[in-house]
Structure 1
Amino acid sequence: MNSFHTYFKNEFNSIYELADGSFANRGMNLSLYLEMAKRLNSHLTMHHTIEERHIFPVLAKKMPQFSTETEDAHIDSHKGIHKGSKEPSTYSPTEMRACLDGFREVLFRHLDEEVNDLRSENMKKYWTLEELESIPM
């Protein structure tokens, strides 16, 4: 999980850094830059869909932070991330950064919290090895 989350953070930071138009200095045109942003959104959507449909329901049985019933749980973070990533409809460097700023905090906090919640020391508090092996990951 950590490798996926590290990728998401690195990709987000690259998109943010290049939002000022400096993507042209790296041989990218606007179309390629926007494709990079769309790809991150697509990867986050796919990652969160898999988590919400297949992994979180199993984890939620013993770990409330993965439940749909718990306030400020990981699913709420997913909603905040995706709300922020859908806002831009035209390109402006200032608006792009404002859009990214709108969900950066919730994205990075969520990525860190999820990795922390799924570390082996924490999982041992909730699950036996046999139970963990049955989780679809």
Structure 2
Amino acid sequence: MPSFAENEQHLESHKKIHDGLEELGKIIRKVYDDQSTYSPSELRACMDGFREPLMRHLDEEVNDLRAENMRKYWTKEEVRAIPI
């Protein structure tokens, strides 16, 4: 499926999303260790930083993973063999 090929839209989106989640994890670990460091504005800024790529990606992926689209690229047997 072209949208999942290396350097294509889904992989690029995953990178941005994972980077945002890594940053969110750092903030959560910091607050877990010292609750006095909690800053709602810092948390909000972090989450806002990857909101757009996440929401766009989820919308695109729902479209790409529709049955009628997947049939263009894989057989039922190939889909069933995907380890999920």
Q: Which amino acid in structure 2 is aligned with residue 98 of structure 1? A: A
Aligned to 1:91: 38
Q: 1:115 aligns with which of 47, 59, 62?
A: 62
Q: State the TM-score, normalized to the length of structure 2.
A: 0.70
Distance 1:106 1:85 in 2: 12
What is the CA distance between 1:121 and its match in structure 2? 1.0
Distance 1:104 1:110 in 2: 10
Q: Which runs of 5+ in 2 are unaligned?
A: 31-36
Aligned to 1:124: 71
RMSD: 1.8
User: Would you say how many aligned residue pairs link Structure 1 and Structure 2?
Assistant: 73
Distance 1:119 1:109 in 2: 16
Matched, 1:77 2:24: no
Identity of aligned residues (%): 66
What is the CA distance between 1:101 and its match in structure 2? 0.4
Deviating beyond 4 angstroms after TM superposition, the runs of 4 or more aligned structure 1 residues are none
Distance 1:75 1:132 in 2: 19
Q: Which runs of 5+ in 1 are unaligned?
A: 1-62
Cα–Cα, structure 1 residues 91 and 85, in superposed 2: closer, same or farther, change >3 Å? farther
